[in-house]
């Protein structure tokens, strides 16, 4: 899989690329590797494999991984492009499942990845980027605010029984 971008940090050079099926287990490990995620993430199985197929087939989904020099997955993010009528038909981009591996957190990789993603959203014509972040995630809100995001909305969730 061709790299979409290179990110140079003090820890080395990382490659950004679209996720492939073989990345799913590694993405799930990243998603599960924190106090909130560990409560709800399980390993790769037929459900996550089917979800990957649906993501990969949808031109409005961009599931990305960042890999290090050994091709290990060290960060991930899913971008969903949402066409809509609001704000004079402004295309929205939504970020979900943003995660950087624990040993590389707060060292600049996440910021560099976010900057690249915002450029990519702009390139695709998005005029608004949105995300929700769990109120328990200390630091995440400040991270996004440092990149210009405004916590103007309540993010509400409902689990369907």
Taking the complex as a whole, how short is the minimal distance between the CB of residue 142 and its own copies, in angstroms? 11
Interacting residue ranges for its own copies, rule: CB under 8 A: 24, 27-28, 31, 40-42, 45, 47-52, 54-55, 58, 60-61, 63, 78, 80, 82-91, 94, 96-97, 118, 121-122, 126-136, 141, 144-145, 147-160
Cα-Cα-Cα-Cα torsion 83, 97, 120, 112, nearest 10 degrees, comes to 160
Element (H, E) at 114: helix 109-123
Q: Beta-strand (E) ranges in 3-104?
A: 5-9, 12-18, 61-67, 73-82, 91-100
Taking the complex as a whole, how short is the minimal distance between the CB of residue 39 and its own copies, in angstroms? 10
| Closer residue to its own copies, CB minimum distance, 10 or 152 | 152
| Closer residue to its own copies, CB minimum distance, 16 or 129 | 129
| Closer residue to its own copies, CB minimum distance, 39 or 69 | 39
| Closer residue to its own copies, CB minimum distance, 11 or 44 | 44
């Amino acid at each position: 899989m061709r790299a979409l971008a290179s990110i140079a940090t003090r820890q080395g050079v990382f490659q950004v690329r679209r996720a492939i099926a073989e990345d799913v287990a590694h993405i799930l490990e990243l998603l599960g590797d924190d106090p909130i995620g560990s409560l709800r993430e399980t390993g790769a199985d037929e459900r996550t494999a089917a979800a990957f197929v649906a993501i990969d087939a949808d031109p409005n989904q961009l599931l990305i991984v960042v890999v290090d020099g050994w091709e290990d997955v060290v960060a991930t993010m899913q971008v969903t492009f949402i066409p809509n009528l609001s704000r004079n038909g402004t295309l929205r981009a939504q970020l979900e499942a943003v995660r950087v591996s624990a040993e590389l957190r707060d060292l600049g990789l996440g910021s560099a990845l976010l900057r690249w993603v915002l450029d990519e959203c702009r390139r695709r014509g998005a005029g608004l980027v949105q995300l929700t972040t769990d109120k328990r995630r200390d630091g995440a809100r400040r991270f996004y605010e440092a990149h210009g995001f405004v916590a103007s909305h309540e993010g509400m969730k409902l689990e369907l029984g």
